[in-house]
A and B are shown apart, each in its own frame.
Chain A
Amino acid sequence: IAGITQAPTSQILAAGRRMTLRCTQDMRHNAMYWYRQDLGLGLRLIHYSNTAGTTGKGEVPDGYSVSRANTDDFPLTLASAVPSQTSVYFCASSREENNEQFFGPGTRLTVL
Chain B
Amino acid sequence: GQNIDQPTEMTATEGAIVQINCTYQTSGFNGLFWYQQHAGEAPTFLSYNVLDGLEEKGRFSSFLSRSKGYSYLLLKELQMKDSASYLCAASDSNYQLIWGAGTKLIIKP
- Residues of chain A at the chain B interface (Cβ within 8 Å): 40-45, 48, 58-59, 90, 97-98, 100-106
Shortest CB-to-CB span from A41 to chain B, Å, is: 6
The interface residues of chain A, by DSSP majority, are classed as loop
Other A-B pairs beyond A42-B89, A100-B33, 10, CB < 8 Å: A48-B96, A98-B31, A98-B95, A101-B43, A102-B45, A103-B43, A103-B44, A104-B42, A105-B41, A105-B42
Task: Find out whether the CB atom of A101 lies under 8 angstroms from the CB atom of B45.
Answer: yes
Instruction: Find chain A residues with CB under 8 A from B100 CB.
Output: 42
Whether B43 contacts A45 by the Cβ 8 Å rule is no
Q: Chain B, 92-105, contact with A by CB distance < 8 Å: what is the 0/1 string?
A: 00011111111000
Q: B4 at interface (Cβ–Cβ under 8 A)?
A: yes
**With known contacts A98-B30, A98-B31, A100-B48, A45–B96 Cβ distance under 8 A:** yes
The answer to whether A90 and B87 touch across the interface, beta carbons within 8 angstroms, is no
Considering only CB atoms and an 8 Å cut-off, how many residues of chain B contact the other chain? Answer: 21
Task: Spell out B's residues near A (CB within 8 Å).
Answer: 4, 30-31, 33, 41-45, 48, 87, 89, 91, 95-102
With A42-B100, A42-B101 known to touch, is A97 a contact of B95 (CB < 8 Å)? yes
User: If the complex has contacts A98-B31, A100-B45, are A58 and B99 also in contact, measured as CB distance less than 8 A?
Assistant: no
